[in-house]
Amino acid sequence: FTHVRYNVQRLGFAAVTTEDIAFFNGLLPGSVVTDPDILEASNVDWLRTMRGRSQLLLRPRTTEEVSQILRYCNSRNLAVNPQGGNTGLVGGSVPVFDEIIISTVQMDNIINFNSTTGVLTCEAGCILENLNNYLEEQDFIMPLDLGSKGSCHIGGNVSTNAGGLRLLRYGSLRGTVLGLEVVLADGAILNCLSSLRKDNTGYDLKQLFIGAEGTLGIITAVSILCPRKSPAVNVALLGCDSFEKILDIFKESKSMLGEILSAFEFLDYSCREVVCEHLKLRNPLQETPFYILIETSGSNDDHDQEKLSHFLEKVMTSGLVADGTVATEENKIKALWALRERITEALVHDGFVYKYDISLPLERFHEIVIDMRNRLGVRAKRVVGYGHLGDGNLHLNIVSPAFDQQLLDSIEPYLYEWIAQHCGSISAEHGLGFKKKNCIYFSKSRAAVHMMQQMKAILDPKGILNPYKTLPAFTQ
């Protein structure tokens, strides 16, 4: 059958039978879900824009169980959909048709933490925030932080190569993930769970699975390098009246704050409106067209505060900043961060959200937001721009009261062509999932996509792992 809304045809996988369910009940007693009410939450994505029709959810507890599930599914030609916290924003985490959902929710044990090296090894289903809380007790933190931290799993984070709020300081998961354990489509267990920082023996296979969105294997365990928790954290929220000034402040912050700069986040006035309107958050600053949130973290409070005040003095007296506030106390820091972190949540209350997560050269960063406002006019309820400016990553979100195909046709492919023309990426950190897989050519050459398809064919010859996602259909 065909998925009408998305115009995609079900591939020739087998359908789940009562014999299959009996097999899984024998393999995973108590961890096989067929109750439609419980399945509903796993069939619908966080944005509530995609709905699958899976009738079977499996919650394995061990790598061995994942291996047996995949061996069986591969032999029966049953398609599967790996799922972590189901917070993905590109429709990769939910089935398109009746794929079996394999959730890591019951694989949430910490295997080991070495406080000398800072290497944490844990199962894939650990919730990011739980890992961070565990580490904080030992004066460490996770090297990544996302607005979805209370639900997302570390396995999902690695599978999407999640970026987030700390990337500016600690780099991407491609650097901090030291090892992975992965179950391949045929059930083979690939143990690359190294905790070494340096290991140049052959190809670095774990990199294949980072950002593969569950299309090449199911990640079952992760080892990751964690930084020390900084005892001194300061946050400044600054209001600016032009985007050019923001770029000047960014340059100044890199030079004057240097090694203590840990976040440089951007939001425009529409974001402030949406969080104040729907979440009743309070904006402590006067109204300006743009805001930036700067975080510093370091080991010496006096030293950091001195650096930060010199920096603030410079940007205020030179007229780069129109208004500003600084927080050193935890509750105030959290309140300032909420203005940035809760934008995604506030937008969902606003209507149907067309989400774009793009990388752009900094000079062009906000141009596309203005361009889109002019192009869409009153047809869009809101066009907002925010994101990880320090990483060149803009979240462009457009809202309409309900889904509107004509509005979508005015946005795409125009937006993707614009991004390609300005040498950006159509997906900076959310991945391609189901919604954006056919747009890959705006950011990757045909030869590169062809090589990806060949790699997929080698690792998953029957294509059972997360079909319809990440890569366009294979053509010779």
Provide the binding-site residues for ligand FAD, judged by CB under 6 A: 46, 81-89, 92-93, 104, 124, 146-148, 152-153, 155-157, 159-160, 162-164, 213-214, 218-219, 344-345, 429-430, 433, 466, 469
- By beta-carbon proximity to ligand FAD, the closer residue of 270 and 393 is 393
Shortest Cβ 200–ligand FAD spacing (Å): 26
- By beta-carbon proximity to ligand FAD, the closer residue of 270 and 466 is 466
- By beta-carbon proximity to ligand FAD, the closer residue of 219 and 399 is 219
- Torsional sign, CA 323, 327, 328, 333: negative
- By beta-carbon proximity to ligand FAD, the closer residue of 82 and 298 is 82
- By beta-carbon proximity to ligand FAD, the closer residue of 96 and 218 is 218
Shortest Cβ 86–ligand FAD spacing (Å): 4
Q: Is residue 453 exposed (0-12), middle (13-18) or buried (19+ Cβ within 10 Å)? A: middle
- By beta-carbon proximity to ligand FAD, the closer residue of 84 and 118 is 84
Shortest Cβ 315–ligand FAD spacing (Å): 25
Shortest Cβ 453–ligand FAD spacing (Å): 17
Alpha carbon distance 359, 365 (integer Å): 8
Token duo for residue 358? 């793009």
Shortest Cβ 167–ligand FAD spacing (Å): 8
Shortest Cβ 21–ligand FAD spacing (Å): 22
Q: Nearest residue to ligand FAD, using CB?
A: 156
* 8 Å CB contact between 183 and 65: no
- By beta-carbon proximity to ligand FAD, the closer residue of 248 and 345 is 345
Residue written as token pair 């927080």: 327
Q: Is residue 319 exposed (0-12), middle (13-18) or buried (19+ Cβ within 10 Å)? A: exposed
- By beta-carbon proximity to ligand FAD, the closer residue of 155 and 324 is 155
Helix (H) or strand (E) segment spanning residue 206 = helix 206-209
Closest CA to 238 of 178, 285, 187, 191: 285
- Torsional sign, CA 106, 112, 115, 117: negative
Shortest Cβ 234–ligand FAD spacing (Å): 21
Cis geometry, peptide bond prior to residue 413 (ω within 30 degrees of 0): yes
Name the CA dihedral angle for 70, 73, 74, 78, rounded to a multiple of 10 degrees.
Answer: -130
Alpha carbon distance 299, 417 (integer Å): 45
Shortest Cβ 349–ligand FAD spacing (Å): 12
Angle between helices 269-279 and 330-341 (to 10 degrees): 110
